[in-house]
A = this chain, B = another copy of it.
Amino acid sequence: MLEKMTAINSHAPVANDDCPSREIALARWASNASPSAVQTMLKVASSPEVISFALGLPASELFPAADYCQAVKQVLLNDRHSLQYGPPPERLKAQVAELMKARGVSCDSAEVFLTAGAQQGMSLLAHLTLNPGASVLVDELTYPGFRQAIEPFEPQVLTVSTDLSTGIRTDEVEHLLKQGVRPAFIYVIPNGHNPLAVTMDLAARHHLADLARKFSVPIIEDDAYGFLYYDTDQLPCLKELAPEWVCYLGSFSKIMAPALRIGWVLAPPKLAAKLAIVKEAADINTGTLAQRALAVYLDRGVFSEHLTNLRGEYQKRRDAMFNAVMRHFPAGTRCAKPISGMFLWVRLSCPIDTGELLRVSLKTARVAFLPGDAFCGRKSGNQGCMRLNFSNCTIQQIEDGVDRLASVLRQALLMNLQGNYSG
């Protein structure tokens, strides 16, 4: 047994018997972690009386449930290994590579790494790139799940602002890089930005890709909404513009169904080689029944039509919501009609506390949304802002909900003028 004792050295944490612990100790970051606004709203907004514009949910009634059911049946009854451990299905990787071609990105199926959704891709990349003391660079307002993914590594979060017409301020990114700052990566959502609803313009894409190359700084391109573009043709992916510096995150959650938990990463070779290792640590990295069934579904050749229908329907809902906001919301409200994604970003004419507004709206009008502050993790200059989702309500619900929300808002503005509302 003495031999084992050599395993202990002076660095091993030792007891502090003056203060015996009465419960399991949490890691530092975990002690401070609290549930996200999204998780809280998932419960609140699931009540059938609530019209919810709160979450990034796709339309349940548009899921190809019957076709997918056929695919599951075919897999389960014909392949005795469909429920077994095994490598992720090659066929699905090849199909994803084909999908990427449609997005303008040329890649081989061997470069496709399957994940349990874009969030997992983000989390795995954070594991692979964040050393203690690292920094990351991100829009000031961004997807809260990104902050969650990096939180266990406690990086320094550097922020730049977002232009609501062109996307992330690449001039600010350049300024930081020229100062010598070297983040572990820059995280961006070029299409259907969450929550700002902006799509990066072509010039900004080229500028950012050039910066990545020039300063050797990696980019995580979160393209969860990339297949949901409206009015115009799609713009090139950053992955296409700077393949060696971009890790691309794709997802079937918004275009097929979230409960399948299937997404993918395209990463440069050195990183790609490590993805299987870190995913094995996270959840074994085995092919799932959902992946095998999705491959069979995609082979039926109906997905492209499904995508076209989805875009058409979401475009109608976007128009309905945009028009309703323009019609019902108080004068001075600013909102751009997004050309991709699932959200509107609404800026009210005065800095009313939209967190408080949400509480009142849920209580009196039964309408849910997410306040601007939910996207930066603190009270910021985003009072008076809200994110509205348009994909998960019918046009009738959108029109009713926006009307009801506008009434609450007018009431709130009146009270605000009277000094009863915290601004």
Contact = CB atoms under 8 A, between A and B. Distances in A.
Interface in A118-159: 119-120, 123, 127-135, 140, 145, 148-149, 151-152, 156-159
A42 B259 contact: no
A274 interface: yes
Interface stretch (A29-37, A232-240, A337-345, A348-356): A29-37
Interface string A42-67: 11001000000001011011010110
Contacts of A288: 259-261, 290
A312 interface: no
A11 to B, nearest CB: 6
Report how many copies the assembly holds. Answer: 2
Contacts of A267: 24
A36 B119 contact: no
A120 B280 CA distance: 9
A100 to B, nearest CB: 19
Contacts of A14: 180-182
A261 B281 contact: no
Contacts of A284: 117, 119, 145, 258, 261
Interface of A: 1, 4-5, 7-9, 11-15, 20-28, 30, 33-36, 38-39, 42-43, 46, 55, 57-58, 60-61, 63, 65-66, 68-69, 72-73, 76-77, 80-87, 116-117, 119-120, 123, 127-135, 140, 145, 148-149, 151-152, 156-161, 169, 171-172, 175-177, 179-185, 215-216, 218, 244-245, 247, 253, 257-261, 267-268, 270-271, 274, 276-278, 280-290, 292
A401 to B, nearest CB: 18
Nearest to A22: B216
A50 to B, nearest CB: 14
A156 B11 contact: yes
What are the 6 closest A-B residue pairs judged by CB atoms, nearest first?
A83-B257, A148-B281, A14-B180, A21-B216, A69-B76, A120-B283
B66 A84 contact: no
A54 to B, nearest CB: 11
Nearest to A120: B283
26 contacts: A1-B172, A11-B133, A11-B156, A12-B158, A13-B182, A15-B182, A15-B215, A24-B129, A24-B218, A27-B130, A34-B277, A35-B276, A65-B77, A68-B83, A69-B73, A72-B73, A73-B73, A83-B260, A85-B258, A117-B283, A119-B280, A119-B284, A145-B281, A148-B281, A149-B281, A261-B288
Given A26-B270, A76-B68, A258-B83, A280 B158 contact: no
A283 to B, nearest CB: 4
